[in-house]
Amino acid sequence: MAKVTETILEIDLNALEHNYRYLRSRLRPETKFMAVVKAYGYGSDAQEIALCLQHAQVDYFAVAYVNEGISLRKAGITTPILVLHPQKVHFKKLITHNLEPSIYSHTILGQFISMAEEMGTKEYPVHLKFNTGLNRLGFTYDDLMDIHETINAQKAIRVKAILSHLAATEDKNETEFTQLQLSRFEAIYQKAEAMFNYKMIKHVLNTSGIINYPYAQLDMVRSGIGLYGYGNDETIDKALIPVVTLKTIIAQKHIIPSGESVGYNRKYISSKPTVTATLPLGHADGIGRQYGQGNTKVSINGQLAPIVGNVCMDMIMVDVTEIACKEGDEVIIFGKDLPATEFSKTANTISYELLTGMSQRIPRILLKN
């Protein structure tokens, strides 16, 4: 592996393929797999992630917004792409780039049909999204009659798939609620298929759903975090490999006499002679101030160094008093050896937030084979 000379985000595509194969192995062979690559591929590089998974013959991609889907098309992605939360202003571009909208309200349905008719589409594929308890986006069971009437009265769009999203698949204390959501969804898709009198692709499970409710895999699953190496579960985490590792180097070392302060607002005061190392990344890179002044540690030469004082915009200081290290040495912030789950926990957040917060100014370095 090349020597690290600045802050980088290493993206291990072999780990990605491993995670994909592992998650697939837990499913029936005929179940379709939708890879969720929204938010820059959970903060990595959506285009590279998608190209790798397209090569591995993933069935579908999901993004949150239209522009994310367009950027995949521009990278050469020809696999179907679902846009989870399309905005009306981008409907035209959505159709031009052959993206599939998730339609969640009568308003959006009407607006999308108007655009589809204006552009002269025939049976353009859409996914109908139902709210079964997350109470975020979606139609309800009682909307089905009207949805059917609206869609039946035109030819520009056709229902290709039907979906819902679960609120707490990773939480073993919420099994009953998840089962309630699943049974609500079942009632919805059975009625929908009976009304429309054709089959739809039914999809409801996210990563933790694949792990904890495999019987509900239906026709397709939607996995994000698992592909990036985290399963919201200690046992599963052992089977997965973190795809992204944030690395940097020691820019400078300081010997701090007892009683001196370190950083803005003097939030660290040394109680004994202390050696600190300054690292070239900060809250502008996605390591927020909540990681400062406390428990969060980074890894230097196999040992853990706590972050001292306030995290600055472009720099972080760590305590290396007990660590043999020199300027230029490699530092692992999180990733392999120091999972994002552990790192994020020290600031009371989750791997998802840490990963998606990685700034675009950090160079992405791809590892393959």
Ligand X SMILES: *Cc1c(COP(=O)(O)O)cnc(C)c1O
Q: Write out the residues near ligand X by the rule CB under 6 A.
A: 36, 84, 165, 206-207, 222-226
Closest CB to ligand X among 84 and 277? 84
CB of 6 to ligand X, least distance (A): 29
Closest CB to ligand X among 36 and 116? 36
As a dihedral over the C-alpha atoms of residue 348, residue 85, residue 231, residue 356, rounded to 10 degrees, the angle is: -50
CB of 224 to ligand X, least distance (A): 3
E strand intervals along 183-341? 201-203, 220-223, 244-249, 252-256, 261-262, 268-269, 274-279, 297-300, 303-308, 316-319, 330-334
* Bridge partners for 82 per DSSP: 62, 100
Cα separation, 350 vs 202, in Å, equals 28
CB of 254 to ligand X, least distance (A): 40
| Cβ atoms 297, 305 nearer than 8 A | yes
Closest CB to ligand X among 207 and 296? 207
Of 92, 172, 264, 326, the active-site residue reads: 264
Q: Which residue has the tokens 């990595």?
A: 44
Closest CB to ligand X among 19 and 245? 19
CB of 322 to ligand X, least distance (A): 37
CA atoms within 13 A on the CB side of 213: 29
CB of 86 to ligand X, least distance (A): 13
> Which residue's CB atom is positioned nearest to ligand X?
224
Of 38, 160, 247, 297, the active-site residue reads: 38
Our CA angle for 46, 51, 56, nearest 5°, is 125
Biggest CA-to-CA distance, the chain: 79
Cα separation, 249 vs 12, in Å, equals 19
What pairing do the DSSP bridges indicate for beta strands 32-36 and 100-103?
A: unpaired
Closest CB to ligand X among 86 and 226? 226
CB of 11 to ligand X, least distance (A): 17
Q: What are 83's two structure tokens?
A: 């846009």
Closest CB to ligand X among 34 and 347? 34
User: Would you call 264 a catalytic residue per the annotation?
Assistant: yes
E strand intervals along the chain? 8-12, 32-36, 60-63, 81-83, 100-103, 124-130, 157-164, 201-203, 220-223, 244-249, 252-256, 261-262, 268-269, 274-279, 297-300, 303-308, 316-319, 330-334, 364-367
Active-site residue list:
38, 264
